[in-house]
Amino acid sequence: MVKGILLSLSLSALFVIASASEAISRESRFAATDLAEQFYKIAHEKRESGQFKAAIQAFEQAAFFNPGLAEAKVQEEKLRKELQAQAQNAYREGLQHYQLLRFEEAKQSWQAALHAIVDEGDPLKMKVETALGYSKPIFITPSPPVGEGWGEGDIRTLLESGDQAQAMLALKETLQKSPENERAKKVYANLETSLKKEGTAGPSKEIEEKFAEAKQLLDMSQNKSTLITYHQLKKAHALFQGDDLKPPFFKQIEDGLEKSAAQLTKELEPKLARWEKECCHPEPQGGEGSRMTAVSLRHAIQNYPPNPKADALLQKVYERLDEKGRPLLMIARTKQEMEGCSVALEDFEAVKKAAVFSEVPAWGEAHKNLEACKKSVE
C-alpha cells in the first residue's frame, strides 16, 4: 500500500514538473515571438529611412527569434536583390556620366552605388571605389607656354564647371596643334556626343563671325608696336562678355593684352614724371607748358591703359589752367557789368583760350557767359 502511495506521489510530481516546464517553454516562445515582431517592425523602418544594412540585420534577427516568421526571410532576400540591382544601375549610370565628362554626376552615382552595397565582400564594391578614385581624370598633355593655347588645367577647369561647349573649342585648338593626341581626340568625341544628346547646337553663324573678327585682330597685333598691339587686342577682347562662348585662342588674346598693357604702363612712367615737373614749376611761356602737358596727358589717357596717376595729374593741370583763366574771367565779367555784353565778348573769348579745355571750370563759365552775351547782342 505504501508503495502504491509513493508511486502515485511520484507521478503527480512528474506531472507538475512537466506542466511547469511546458509553461516556461510557452512563455519563452511568446517572448521570442514578441522580439521577432519588434525586429520585423524595426527592419521596415530602417529600410524606409534608407538604412539598408541595419534593415537587413533586423530582418535576420526577426527570422532568428521566430523561424516560423517566413516573411522576414522573404523580405530580407527581396531587399538584398533590390539593393544589388540598385547598386549595379548606379554604377553603370556613373560610367555613362563619366564617358560624357560629367564628373560630378558620375561621382554622385558611384556614391549612391556604394551606399546600396551591403556586403563588404561584394566584388562591385571594389569597382565602385576604384571608379571614385578616377572621378577627376587628366586628359590632356602638359600645358603649352603661356599665350600659346589651352593647357590641361584650363580644359579640366572648363569640364568640371560644366562649360562643355567652351571646353570643346579648347580641345579643338589642342588637336589642331597636336593631331596625334589620342586622349584629346577621345575627349573631343565624347563631348561631341554629349552635346548632340543634349540637343545643344554648335556655335551660330554670328558667333563664328565674331570668332573670325577676333582672330583677324589677333593676327594684326603680331609684330607691331606695343601701342598698336594693345589696341588690336583690346578690340578683340571687347567682342566677348563674361559668359559669352569664347574662341579657343581667347587666352592668347588675354595674355597678349595683359602683357602689352604692362609694357605701356611702364613706358608711361617717365613721361608722367616729366609732365608733373612741367606742370608744377613756373612757366616762362605764359601757360604754354600746362597746355602742352594737358594735351599730352589727354592723348595718353585716351590711348594707354587706365592709369590713376595720369588721371590725377591731368586734373592738376586743369586746376593750373583754371587759375590762369580766373583773373581774365573777372575782367570779362566786370566789363560785362560796367560796359555791356558787346564790349566783353573778346574778353570771354580770351578766357576760353587761356583755359584751353572745356573740362576746365573757367572755360565753361566763360562759354556760358559768352553765349548769353551773343544772344543779347542779337
Over the stretch 292-304, which tens digit does the pLDDT of each residue have? 888 888 888 889 9
Q: Residue 44 and residue 351: Cα distance in Å, rounded?
A: 94
Under DSSP, is residue 81 helix (H, G, I), strand (E, B) or coil? helix
Locate 79 and state its grid cell: 531587399
Locate 372 and state its grid cell: 548769353
Res 4: pLDDT: 46
Residue 81, CA distances (Å) to 27, 63, 77, 285, 300 in order? 36, 18, 6, 98, 76
In 3D space, the residue among 252, 228, 226, 257 whose CA is nearest the CA of residue 145 turns out to be: 252
Residue 283 corresponds to which amino acid?
E
Over the stretch 154-196, which tens digit does the pLDDT of each residue have? 666 666 555 666 666 677 767 777 777 777 777 777 766 665 5
Under DSSP, is residue 2 helix (H, G, I), strand (E, B) or coil? helix
Locate 16 and state its grid cell: 507538475
Contacts 24+ apart (CB under 8 A), 278-284: 279/313, 279/316, 279/317, 279/320, 280/316
What residue ranges do the domains of the chain occupy?
2-133, 148-200, 203-263, 282-377
Q: Residue 80 and residue 121: Cα distance in Å, rounded?
A: 14
Q: What angle do CA 238, 152, 94 make, to 5 degrees?
A: 110
Per-residue pLDDT of the chain (378 residues; tens, 9 = 90+): 444 444 344 445 444 444 544 544 556 566 767 777 888 888 788 888 888 778 888 888 878 877 877 787 888 888 888 888 988 898 888 877 766 667 778 888 888 888 888 788 888 888 788 777 655 443 433 333 333 445 555 666 666 555 666 666 677 767 777 777 777 777 777 766 665 555 554 555 677 788 889 889 989 988 889 999 999 999 999 988 876 667 778 888 999 999 999 999 999 899 988 888 877 665 544 456 777 888 888 888 889 999 999 999 999 889 988 988 888 889 888 888 888 888 888 998 999 998 889 999 999 999 999 888 888 766
Residue length of the chain: 378
Residue 315, CA distances (Å) to 168, 265, 275, 322, 357 in order? 48, 19, 12, 10, 11
Res 194: pLDDT: 60
